Structure 1
Amino acid sequence: MSDAMSVFPKLQTGIDVNIKFVDVSCFECTPELAVFDVLRIPLYHGWLPDPQDNATCSSVMNYSYNQLVEKIISSKDSTDEDVLREGLLAEEFLKNSASQLTCHGVLSILESAPNHRLAVLFRNNHFLTLYKKENELFTLVTDQGFLTKSGIVWETLSSVQGDTNFTDADFLSSQTQSHEQSPKQQLDSDFQIAMSLQNEEDKISPCQNNPSTANTSHLSNEDKDRQMATKLQQELDKEALRHSSSRAPPRGQQPQTVSDAEDEKKCIIL
């Protein structure tokens, strides 16, 4: 209790812990860990080597993080091939798992953490609130960018590559909405416009002499697609010209003439 009381003031600025690459709940015994012991809050990390990689495990598992860094530094000055090899393996492990999380680490946390109990996850030199519900891990979202997103409270911890989902306070999936269209949405929108133009064109009688409204049934699919794209670009050009002509020119600048607008249309790349 005395050790925990001395650590409490440091919680406002952060405390240091030294993980060990043996187990997800294994840390170097320091006075800082007394806080978690007194409050009975489990502390985990997900920085474990793959047990199938025997060479890396033998070079990493018997060390804490601080000891492993010292080992890597000292191995660079050694002439022993075994020491050099272990140092390189340890350095490669730290480099490949720079996010301080591995697949084996996530699975180990999932097996060790009990359901419906809060815990703390140490990752990227930060402490995250961890919760396990129905054999699924969640971390509390505390990023400032989500402050106004009331429907985003938890983030799933199921992948090292960042393929996660956001949920609300009831752990129901929450979709982040953006005011800007994604590239796929933009393509779908353009395709719908093109199809609408094509349908309008098909409604026009094919017996008219105007070439732009002639029946295109004899054309190939590639020619039809090109014609639809051209028609779409023409409509977009007209819309852009209407917007530009509706705005008054800035002071000291001459209004845009029709020839200027035609030149701009010629420069548009479809």
Structure 2
Amino acid sequence: MATTTNHETRTAASASASAVWPLKEIIYPPHSDRRIKIVYQRRNGPCSLLAICNILILRGDVEIQPPGRKTASYEYLSSLVADFLVTKHGGSAAGNEGDLTSALAVLPSTQEGMDLNPLFTGMSSFRPEGSGGELQLFELCNILLVHGWLVDPQSPEYDIVAKAQDYDTALNMIVAGEEASEAQISTKAPDDAIGSSPPAPDEDTHLRDGLVLRQFLEQNPTQLTFHGLWSLFSLSDGLYAFIRNSHLSVLYKCQNPQLWMLVTDSNLVPEPSIVWESIEDVDGADSRFVDSHFFPSSTIGGDYSGYIPADTRPPPPTSEYENE
């Protein structure tokens, strides 16, 4: 088991203290005059923390202050979330104290990422890890965590994928299938002689399950299936934490119906009209950018993935802002 020295601890703490993320002003809800600051991500930064903070900001549960602030540190953002949780749940029944403690305990882990294991059979189903503090953090923030890595119940592979349930188990079953294949090869006589032992039923099952699961994972490399995409369209209007490609984003579902992801790439901070990106398909090939009012937009600098002509305007969202 790896150990952490005092020097490493001090170094990590220093790096955490110096980490800051840029802020950008947008308007939300669309067609209003409410200006807010959202947090943008550098490198492969703390997408979990930023998604949680940005949803709380969009809903009006927390606010970046002062208005002229241009960056935010982990300490500042985590204190916003912690203060919100304590204010909202600090006076709850004693039975909820453990949940609040677990949720607060995982806040530091949001700097590097959270261990979220989606189940292939449910859009909002995840396997708890450890104390379950990761899932409790979202629950206590009243944020629904969703994904689209779903197997179609009508597909021939459903029973096997449903048996695996999640990615980690699927990998173990694929390995078991490979081992079963090697065992079958090694037990055969050199010339496949008559009288060689038939494969054990368990070996056949492991081999079949492993092949089906490997195909399912290879056919859905973006962690979003067509069934998952249509399931996301069934969501009620609102803001969600959306995990895809091991990245957590803010998902906005509105009455159009349309799905939008909040753009938080720090390279686009200087682009005032790039605020939301559409989810059109499972691989992102047809995505497009819009501004705070959901009018088509493009980068100031010219060509960029997601550019669309300015004269093609999708109907803007009609859902009313709700403090969910």
What is the TM-score when the length of structure 1 is the normalising length? 0.62
Displacement, 1:52? 3.1
Displacement, 1:153? 0.4
- Asked whether the 8 Å contact 2:143–2:240 carries over to 1, the reply is yes
**Residue 244 of structure 2 corresponds to residue 143 of structure 1:** no
- Asked whether the 8 Å contact 2:271–2:300 carries over to 1, the reply is no
Amino acid at match of 2:231: S
What is the TM-score when the length of structure 2 is the normalising length? 0.52
How many percent of aligned residue pairs carry the same amino acid? 34
Equivalent residues in 2 for 1:1-270, closer than 5 Å? 1-29=100-128, 30-54=132-156, 56-62=157-163, 63-78=165-180, 79=184, 80-111=203-234, 113-115=235-237, 117-134=238-255, 135-162=257-284, 163-176=286-299, 179=302
The DSSP-based 3-state class of the residue aligned with 1:130 is: strand
Aligned length: 177
Larger of the two Rg values belongs to structure: 1
| CA RMSD in angstroms, aligned pairs only | 1.6
Higher share in helix: 1
Counterpart Cα distance in 1 of 2:141 and 2:302: 44
Displacement, 1:58? 1.4
Amino acid at match of 1:11: T
The DSSP-based 3-state class of the residue aligned with 2:179 is: coil
Displacement, 1:176? 4.1
Counterpart Cα distance in 2 of 1:169 and 1:124: 25
Displacement, 1:46? 0.6
Question: 1:14-51 CA deviation, whole Å, 9 max, x = no partner?
Answer: 11111111111110023211101101100001101233
Q: Structure 1: which 5+ runs fail to align?
A: 181-270
Displacement, 1:141? 0.8
The DSSP-based 3-state class of the residue aligned with 1:74 is: helix
- Asked whether the 8 Å contact 1:59–1:87 carries over to 2, the reply is no
Q: Which structure's relative contact order is higher, taking Cα pairs within 8 Å and 6+ residues apart?
A: 2
Q: Structure 2: which 5+ runs fail to align?
A: 1-99, 185-202, 304-324
Displacement, 1:61? 1.6
- Asked whether the 8 Å contact 1:21–1:64 carries over to 2, the reply is yes
- Asked whether the 8 Å contact 1:156–1:165 carries over to 2, the reply is yes
- Structure 1 runs, 4 residues or longer, greater than 6 Å off: none
Question: 1:205-257 CA deviation, whole Å, 9 max, x = no partner?
Answer: xxxxxxxxxxxxxxxxxxxxxxxxxxxxxxxxxxxxxxxxxxxxxxxxxxxxx
